[in-house]
């Protein structure tokens, strides 16, 4: 399928069903929020036709009403970002809500999709092109509900990373689905967006002085970024872990560590072949602080609440798979131990130190390879039942910056790797990965 015929039916700004109180109208960013570039996170929830509720108009009405009710508790998502004072103005300007009709059968569309995922962009608001300068004007959340001819439905989401990490996005989706099912919003028991800013007030350099990766401005000519999806099923991961364990019996990697290490190894090989020599390489891995810290109040805090591990491979170092696994394991273990022991002040110091390290790393992009990654595994994406059953597939989409996103397959045992790289690098990845990974039986299908 080369294109999708889509007609927009409705576009509107959806406000919280109850106005945000005056004392909640300004949300200061926390230390965790500030280092995040103004990128939007795309997600798609694909629902095949269901016998439980076939009336698509009723589905859309239910989604709209429940979204407005959910925004009462997630009120910052209906506000706007202010760069001047590094805050969210929770002014109820609204979330963008779009409904479309798609002249296609959803099951057939997904069957034909394969690893080339560009068509998914059309099911998202704005097609994931969000210039940095426009983020002051755009909603922090946009929803596109796509109705297919067969009655299947795809909910496309764009949510700003300024105040949302994967935990916050998952919490929002879970609550929205629950409200849609029950018709009742949760009252006074959801965690607050204000908790992290109260514990970790801004102490770092303002956003505009950081050289973080972000979507390029439209007048800047940048290399084209292309996204491809590769699926590691449970047997592939088991074989991969067995291979690692046989080479390094004292290393017991998780499935995320194993897959991420393998991808890093492949990318280092591509870089070395392209340049004719190896160079330093690092992998940036976000770590959710909430459940790792000794402070129970952080466990359900909304916003960004991550620190990072940065395993680094020096040029000319041995490049066996177990080496990459060791570097990843050591970096993650070091950060996790620090988080477990840390006081609030210690965590704040770690944020500042890691922000500097992050900036310094990107300041050396001409001399070293830097790969961003993020694991969305073990979040309950496939539990998002809005009243007509759980999703057939939950996906990411094309990204406008270089990044590796890992997501669970539907059975929870496999991993989908969504890899976004410069066009020439992704072409090399596609050419090389069948040979490099053939022994792991990598598959490229939903």
Q: Are the beta carbons of 101 and 6 closer than 8 angstroms?
A: yes
Q: Are the beta carbons of 153 and 60 closer than 8 angstroms?
A: no
Residues in the chain, pLDDT under 70: 1-2, 34-38, 52-53, 127-136, 187-191, 204-221, 248-251, 433-446
CA angle 46, 93, 167 (to 5 degrees): 45
pLDDT value at residue 213: 56
CA atoms within 13 A on the CB side of 368: 19
Q: What is the pLDDT of residues 249-287, one digit of tens each?
A: 566 899 999 999 999 999 999 999 999 999 999 999 999
pLDDT value at residue 136: 59
Q: Are the beta carbons of 222 and 129 closer than 8 angstroms?
A: no
Task: Give the tokens for residue 41.
Answer: 């996170």
Pairing of the two strands 87-89 and 281-288: unpaired
Return the DSSP state at 379.
Answer: S
Q: Using alpha carbons, list the distances in angstroms from residue 288 to 161, 204, 272, 302.
A: 14, 20, 32, 12
Distance CA 32, CA 350 (A): 10
pLDDT value at residue 243: 84
pLDDT value at residue 211: 47
For the residues of 263-316, what is the DSSP string, one character each? HHHHHHHHHHHHHTS---EEEEEEEE-TTTSS-GGGTT--S--EEEE--EE-TT
Q: Using CA atoms of 59, 64, 67, 72 in order, give the dihedral in degrees to the nearest 10.
A: -140
Burial of 437 (0-12, 13-18, 19+ CB in 10 A): middle
Distance CA 176, CA 147 (A): 19
Token pair 């390029």: residue: 216
Q: Are the beta carbons of 193 and 300 closer than 8 angstroms?
A: no
pLDDT value at residue 437: 58
For the residues of 2-53, what is the DSSP string, one character each? ----EEEEEEEEEPPSSPPPGGGSEEE--TTTTTS-S-EEEEEEEE---SS-
pLDDT value at residue 206: 43
pLDDT value at residue 319: 86
Distance CA 134, CA 403 (A): 22
Q: Are the beta carbons of 324 and 261 closer than 8 angstroms?
A: yes
Strand partners, 127: none
Q: Using alpha carbons, list the distances in angstroms from residue 297 to 23, 73, 291.
A: 22, 18, 10
Return the DSSP state at 215.
Answer: P
CA angle 384, 385, 387 (to 5 degrees): 155
Distance CA 396, CA 407 (A): 8
């Amino acid at each position: 399928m080369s294109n999708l015929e889509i007609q927009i039916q409705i576009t509107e700004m959806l406000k919280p069903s109850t106005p945000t109180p005056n004392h909640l109208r300004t949300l200061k960013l926390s230390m965790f929020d500030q280092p995040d570039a103004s990128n939007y996170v795309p997600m798609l929830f694909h629902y095949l036709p269901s016998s439980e509720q076939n009336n698509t108009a009723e589905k859309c009405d239910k989604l709209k009403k429940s979204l407005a009710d959910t925004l009462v508790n997630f009120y910052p998502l209906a506000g706007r970002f202010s760069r001047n004072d590094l805050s969210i103005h929770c002014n109820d300007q609204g979330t963008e809500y779009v409904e479309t009709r798609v002249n296609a059968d959803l099951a057939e569309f997904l069957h034909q999709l394969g690893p080339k995922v560009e068509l998914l962009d059309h099911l998202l608001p704005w097609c994931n092109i969000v210039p940095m300068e426009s983020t002051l004007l755009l909603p922090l959340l946009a929803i596109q509900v796509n109705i297919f001819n067969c009655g299947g439905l795809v909910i496309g989401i764009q949510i700003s990373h300024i105040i949302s990490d994967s935990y916050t996005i998952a919490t929002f989706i879970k609550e929205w689905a629950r409200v849609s099912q029950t018709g009742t919003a949760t009252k006074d028991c959801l965690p607050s967006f204000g908790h992290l800013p109260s514990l970790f007030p801004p102490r770092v350099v303002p956003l505009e002085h950081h050289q973080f990766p972000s979507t390029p401005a439209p007048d800047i000519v940048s290399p084209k970024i292309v996204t491809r999806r590769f699926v590691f099923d449970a047997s592939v991961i088991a074989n991969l872990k067995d291979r690692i364990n046989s080479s390094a019996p004292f290393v017991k990697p998780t499935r995320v560590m194993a897959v991420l290490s393998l991808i890093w190894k492949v990318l280092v090989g591509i870089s070395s072949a392209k340049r004719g020599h190896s160079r330093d390489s690092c992998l940036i891995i976000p770590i959710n602080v909430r459940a790792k810290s000794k402070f129970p109040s952080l466990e359900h805090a909304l916003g960004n609440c991550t620190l990072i591990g940065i395993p680094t491979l020096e040029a000319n170092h041995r490049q066996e798979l177990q080496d990459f696994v060791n570097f990843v394991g050591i970096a993650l273990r070091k950060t996790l131990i620090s988080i477990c022991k840390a006081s609030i002040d210690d965590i704040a110091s770690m944020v500042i130190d890691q922000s500097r390290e992050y900036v310094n790393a990107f300041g050396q992009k001409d001399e070293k390879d830097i790969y961003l990654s993020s694991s969305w595994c073990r979040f309950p994406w496939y539990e998002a039942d809005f009243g007509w059953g759980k999703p057939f597939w939950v996906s990411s989409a094309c990204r406008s910056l270089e990044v590796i996103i890992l997501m669970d397959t539907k059975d929870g045992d496999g991993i989908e790797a969504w890899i976004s790289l410069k066009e020439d690098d992704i072409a090399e990845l596609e050419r090389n990965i069948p040979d490099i990974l053939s022994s792991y039986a990598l598959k490229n299908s939903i």
